[in-house]
Amino acid sequence: MGNLVVLADVVTDVDGLGERIRNLLAGTVMSVMLVVSVITTWRKTNSVLAAGAAFLGAAALWFAVMNAVMFRDSVGETIKPGGGVAPPVTEGRGPAVVRVVEPADAPGPGGEVL
């Protein structure tokens, strides 16, 4: 019984360590990358406008990374399979798509053979 308690403590510790590493990567590393991208853009172009655009792009990327779980969940709620038009797929069979192709020797829309 004591081994199970120790194993549970190890799992809890590893989970906490993983959470700290994720916070470090998402917070610190993304912030450093934001600053580096703005400084690099400004040095290469000597333009405040280009540096501002780099800042806005990096900030948007940082926001998306920090809120990835929210975006993942909202996409699952917003996009429904089939779009509500097709009937639900059951047992691996769904609606079929049929494409009719005319033979190559048939006259085209203008009456000529292609």
User: Domain extents for the chain?
Assistant: 2-80
How confident is the model over 18-68, as pLDDT tens digits? 888 888 887 888 888 889 989 999 999 999 999 999 999 988 888 887 787
Distance CA(50)–CA(41), nearest Å, equals 7
pTM here is 0.48
How far lies 84's CA from each of 71, 73, 80, 92, in Å? 22, 19, 7, 18
